[in-house]
Structure 1
Amino acid sequence: MLAASLAVLGVVVSVWRPVAPGLPASLPPQATFDAELLATIAAYRGPRLVLVPLVTVLSVAVPVAVACWPRAQAVVARWTGDRVRASWRAGAVAVGVAALTWVVSLPILVWLGVVHEGRWGFRTATPLGWLRDQVLVAGGRWLAIGLGVVVLLAARRRWPRTWPYRLTAVATLAAGVLVVVHPVLLQPLLLTTTPLPPGETRDAVEEVLAGSSAADLPVVVGDASRRTTRVNALITGLGPTEQVVLYDTLLELPAPQVAAVLAHELAHQEHADVARGTLLTATAALAGLLVLRRVLDAPSVQRRTAARGPGDPRLVLVVVAAAAVLELVGTPIGGAVSRRVEAAADHRAFELGADPAEVVRNVRTFVVRDLAAPDPAPPVRLLYGTHPSPSERIRAAVLAAERAGDDLPSLEDLVAEERTIRHPRAGAAPEGAHP
């Protein structure tokens, strides 16, 4: 009952929540970009459109191939033995499969993260620094996979009928704990933060905070410039650890634009999006574990793995492969939820004082400076889109300006302002504008 209640609550708080209004179908002038810039974006993103999906395919193909390989099954059987209680050895096998998957994908990741990002001027970390970050992130994932397998097999052995429900409650609690401790224990491993220094930007930030319901929410600066030139911000933590992190690269933008970004993050805080996402963990966990139970209980799986009991560690390869498939299936669903959440935060940010003109400038900065695609292709949006597209966000800002009776800068003025921040390969003097 507890697991079902948590899963239902996750759906309820995700469906019945603040949402953004519908957007106009017409494309405003502020959402158009010149042909030279669009060609530059296509040149940058072209290799990524091939290699990133390839990494996604490998993340599923490798675990499935290992699970279907008779020799791998024999090795696991010898390693874990006939003892039903060899869960820790099974956890080590799961870590090994996860590490193998990462190693197979590593050449592609190196080319994308080191070579490609370096050529285009986005990477500021050294290759060794980049690799250290990748190992930290991957290592945390491997540890989580290994511990998850140990707990799953132990629970399946101890509670053959009710283990999916018990583990749903455990997963939800674990997610809540990780969210709370993230700014204190995990985030410092990759992003060192310092207080926001005095100045025009801090004054603009404090003005936005004063007009919100989170006047005491800490706003800190993360040293993202050690790794990238891209701009970003995020809200992290929960309860006493909740804070907004502004990338130090974001502070290169004018103070009004930074204030507009902060308003978006404050909207997430007001909507309790971090807490809602934590509750949604229960929904995803219960659905995934119930599917996994059907897979593990299938007679064909029992025969193929020669499993001798519900918690037999020889099932570990099937568990890892099934988890990889379930993660891939759940990605589009998670992306759709995220885009809805981000659109609602965009809408609320205007009500919290974000100037639509500054939002337009911010979104165009993502495009002209960081080479974000104005309108990603539907398959890319389906699998990897976590935010509304830049075109959609500009349309939302134009709609907010119309409702408030505010004027927006013309396309010519915006292009003139962007001459100094355009990506060098796009040139500094565009001619003409095209949708």
Structure 2
Amino acid sequence: MTVRGWAWLTLVVLCAALAVTVAVLVPWHRPPAPRADQLAALAELPADRVAKARELRGELRWITYPAMLLGLAVALVLGLTPLGSWLVGLVPGPWAAKVLGGGLLVLGVADLITLPFAAWRHTVAVRYGLSTQDWGGWAVDLLKGYAVGAVLGAIALLGFFGLTRLAPNWWWAFGAVGAAALVVLLSFVFPVLIEPVFNKFTPMADGPLRTELMELAQRDGVPVRDVLVADASRRTTALNAYVSGIGPTRRIVVYDTLLREAPQSEIVAVAAHELGHAERGDVVIGTVIGALGTSIFVVGLYLLGGWGWLLRRAGVDSIAEPRAIGLLLAVATFGGLLAGPAQAYVSRLLEARADEHALELTGDPAGFEQMQGRLSLVNLGDPDPPAWEQGLFGSHPTTVERMAAARAYARDH
């Protein structure tokens, strides 16, 4: 069998493994959320806050979707015309310098063109009271994000093009394994290396809330290292809490805004939901799916590299040369948009299961429903968005679906 034949066989095996993983590990059953209960819950939310949330959503549509389309257009121009190849060619020196400098140039151009939309989004968030940052703080966080992205991008690009030089025929096989390993590694190091770049975390002071959260985790059979408070208020008024990390890096993180705005019962409900992700292994499921997905992407790149028309459009001789960075960006951007709705659907299923877990763990559907209402009202999320938008982009069940699920649980129990 030829090398290309082995690549096709590997791609089929990886796609089958991904399909089996999703079929077996993803919970296809969702807690009931009767539409009548959804409408009843919506009617009980303050009408003025719902109207304000929908007004905000309407404004953000004029930012989000044009930015998405512009980002795709820029990626396609950089990848399917000689422009990306030309930008990389401006960088002198050996291949490593071209990879680093060319990668920064190509990704920098893409980020710079879409930057006005990010600034526009910030002005809207400030006007609606969701952001507490001035332009200086916003710019610092933006630069931090660019820096983290540059480091991760440099690791990925150097690894990719290094393998193409070391193993010209079989780089796709080693690259698939390496990409999967990188995804797994990031799942462990993200909480301890990357999260602190954007927030300061301090241990929660001893008291009734910390005791209840630790006891909740123990009762749930989820060992956590600590309960931390994130200084989210320095950038937002939004409420949130989450459990991050795997194994020894796992911890419960609570926004300081949530501590100020919500009663203890609702904070416990949020934590119970997040513990549900840990208890059911959702982080591991996401990591496995991500590892398989990145492996498929790497093998797919090799196979695409045999498409002469694509290479001619990009102005390169091979996808394995640094001048093809723009083409890699185009493929990744287009593939990400195509995979987005499926990822959102899987995410909604996992979130619905975590909601069900929280209800079972706390036995407090009223507190869970109140918590969901508070999160929606304070965070100005549309509690009942259009079905098409929810289907394409919703990573969580809607607020009214979650409130209705709590009511259904209360009736059944």
**Does TM, scored on the shorter chain, surpass 0.5?**
yes
Query: Shift of the alpha carbon at 1:309?
Result: 4.9
Q: What's the counterpart of residue 264 of structure 1?
A: 273
Q: What's the counterpart of residue 15 of structure 1?
A: 23
Does residue 1:52 correspond to 2:86, yes or no? no
Mark the CA change 1:22 to 1:264 in structure 2 (over 3 Å): closer, same or farther.
closer
Query: Shift of the alpha carbon at 1:157?
Result: 3.9
Q: Which amino acid aligns with 2:63?
A: L
Mark the CA change 1:138 to 1:8 in structure 2 (over 3 Å): closer, same or farther.
farther
- SS of aligned partner of 1:369: helix
Q: Structure 2 CA distance, aligned partners of 1:117 and 1:165?
A: 45
Q: What's the counterpart of residue 328 of structure 1?
A: 337
Instruction: Report percent identity of matched pairs.
Output: 27
Does residue 1:30 correspond to 2:24, yes or no? no
Q: Structure 2 CA distance, aligned partners of 1:371 and 1:306?
A: 46
Number of aligned positions between the proteins: 400
Query: Shift of the alpha carbon at 1:162?
Result: 3.3
Query: Shift of the alpha carbon at 1:168?
Result: 2.0
Q: Which amino acid aligns with 2:255?
A: Y
Q: Structure 2 CA distance, aligned partners of 1:227 and 1:274?
A: 26
Q: What's the counterpart of residue 188 of structure 1?
A: 196
Does residue 1:282 correspond to 2:291, yes or no? yes
Length-normalised TM-score, structure 1: 0.84
Superposed CA RMSD:
2.5
Q: Which amino acid aligns with 2:375?
A: F
Matches within 5 A, 1:207-222: 207-214=215-222, 216-222=224-230
1:80 touches 1:314 (CA, 8 Å); kept in 2?
A: no
Q: What's the counterpart of residue 75 of structure 2?
A: 63
Q: What's the counterpart of residue 161 of structure 2?
A: 153
Q: Which amino acid aligns with 2:286?
A: G
**1:41 pairs with 37, 40, 53, which one?**
53
Query: Shift of the alpha carbon at 1:170?
Result: 0.9
Point out where structure 2 has 5 or more consecutive residues left out of the alignment: 1-8
Mean Cα deviation higher: 262-271 or 364-373: 364-373
Query: Shift of the alpha carbon at 1:197?
Result: 1.9
2:180 touches 2:291 (CA, 8 Å); kept in 1?
A: yes
Q: What's the counterpart of residue 425 of structure 1?
A: none
Deviation digits for residues 218-256 of structure 1 (CA, Å, limit 9, x no counterpart): 221111111111101112111111111111111121001
Q: Structure 1 CA distance, aligned partners of 2:314 and 2:391?
A: 35
Q: Structure 1 CA distance, aligned partners of 2:338 and 2:267?
A: 36
1:193 touches 1:222 (CA, 8 Å); kept in 2?
A: yes
- SS of aligned partner of 1:297: coil
Q: Which has the higher helix share?
A: 2
Query: Shift of the alpha carbon at 1:332?
Result: 1.5
Query: Shift of the alpha carbon at 1:273?
Result: 1.2
Mean Cα deviation higher: 261-270 or 327-336: 327-336
1:201 touches 1:254 (CA, 8 Å); kept in 2?
A: no
Q: Structure 2 CA distance, aligned partners of 1:216 and 1:243?
A: 5
1:157 touches 1:309 (CA, 8 Å); kept in 2?
A: no
Q: Structure 1 CA distance, aligned partners of 2:336 and 2:264?
A: 39
2:78 touches 2:84 (CA, 8 Å); kept in 1?
A: yes
Q: Structure 2 CA distance, aligned partners of 1:237 and 1:216?
A: 9
Query: Shift of the alpha carbon at 1:216?
Result: 4.7
Does residue 1:390 correspond to 2:399, yes or no? yes
Matches within 5 A, 1:232-381: 232-252=240-260, 253-305=262-314, 307-309=316-318, 311-381=320-390
Length-normalised TM-score, structure 2: 0.88
- SS of aligned partner of 2:130: coil
Query: Shift of the alpha carbon at 1:64?
Result: 1.3
1:124 touches 1:226 (CA, 8 Å); kept in 2?
A: yes
1:4 touches 1:165 (CA, 8 Å); kept in 2?
A: no
Mean Cα deviation higher: 212-221 or 223-232: 212-221
Q: Structure 2 CA distance, aligned partners of 1:310 and 1:65?
A: 16
Q: Structure 2 CA distance, aligned partners of 1:89 and 1:203?
A: 54
Does residue 1:169 correspond to 2:177, yes or no? yes
Mark the CA change 1:185 to 1:5 in structure 2 (over 3 Å): closer, same or farther.
farther
- SS of aligned partner of 2:104: helix
Mark the CA change 1:68 to 1:311 in structure 2 (over 3 Å): closer, same or farther.
closer
Query: Shift of the alpha carbon at 1:51?
Result: 0.4
Q: Structure 1 CA distance, aligned partners of 2:14 and 2:304?
A: 23
Query: Shift of the alpha carbon at 1:262?
Result: 1.0
Query: Shift of the alpha carbon at 1:370?
Result: 1.8
Q: Which amino acid aligns with 1:41?
A: A
Q: What's the counterpart of residue 132 of structure 1?
A: 140
2:41 touches 2:403 (CA, 8 Å); kept in 1?
A: yes
Deviation digits for residues 241-278 of structure 1 (CA, Å, limit 9, x no counterpart): 11111111111210011111111111111111111111
Q: Structure 1 CA distance, aligned partners of 2:227 and 2:12?
A: 37
Q: What's the counterpart of residue 3 of structure 2?
A: none
Mark the CA change 1:378 to 1:139 in structure 2 (over 3 Å): closer, same or farther.
farther
